[in-house]
Structure 1
Amino acid sequence: MKPFVKKIFTRRWAVIALTSGLVTAALSLLAGAGGLDLLDPPVRQPVSFDHKKHMETDLTCLNCHGGANKEASTGIPPVRRCIRCHEAEEIENPATEALCVFAEENGDIPWVRVYRVDAHTYFSHRRHVALAKIDCAVCHGDMAIQTRPVTRQAIPITMDGGISCHRKQGVTEDCLSCHR
């Protein structure tokens, strides 16, 4: 390679390496400061929901998300489950009244799903909750302190996280246990 061409080639790679390093550093700083809303924006939920207030009444995750210990797939409870408890309230509660009006006018609350595994991944809530006795907070974070609706994953659901958890629990790491 001619010295002139080698000099340009080397300088170009130096600029690329420096730019890559700066971008990586900036993203790391953003992630540390919680500034990755640009890359992973929180979703907007249709109704204000306070997990903390509900859990202070001695409700557990399974009171509302009852399928988690019985079914492979669970999700957001239907509004009729909310109404079942709240219609018996004797005190006037604006949030409950708003919930009832919303339910009458719209049916189920159109929550935006935040936790989801890829289509090629098999995950069974029943296997993890009922059989392995893994606390919901391990994957979903401490809902007992959440005063607003869930708008993003508290703990990102990743393959590395799943493998790490399987190792810690001493269970299979066979690819086919999760990928079908």
Structure 2
Amino acid sequence: FSGPRTKPTPRLRAHGAVAYSTDEEPPAPFAPQGGEEGSLTDGGAMDAAVASSVDVEADSPEVVAAREAGLPVLDRDEDGLRALGQILGEDVPLVARTDLRMPSDLALTGSGAIRCDGLTYPSIEILFSARGIADYDGWNELYLGDRLGPTLAESLAEINREIMREYADAPVHRGPARH
């Protein structure tokens, strides 16, 4: 490719994925230019945090049991992301490891979508696929606020624990009401 690179025009497919025409290239992953590391510089703190952290399972045994019991626990999907965004109630910056090359404008919106490079994605999976890193588990790779904040998976797990506590503390009603 020898001509000037133009930014491709994304188009939304019916299922929400961002599509690029075959004659255009998708945007290149973010890479700091020269000394432009800005907020991505962490002095190795992220590598240490990743090395010492344990990924949250997609569904803990407690969540599986709660789901089987009919409790409205959240899944790692668009609905779960939307609920997380609505609970937070405002746009919150998201941060990823430097090697994932995510731009600095990455954010979870108050409506539960992900904003990245001026585009809005309805799910983490679609975002990671569009950026060419679909093999990664975005729920465990994206942190709320900063690199010391919880991952999206940890945040969703905390919400599910709260849902389970609420239902465990609720009085059990059996039989018809007596009036």
Structure number with higher helix proportion: 1
* Same fold at TM > 0.5: no
TM range (shorter): under 0.3
Structure number with higher strand proportion: 2
How high is the TM-score relative to the length of structure 2?
0.24
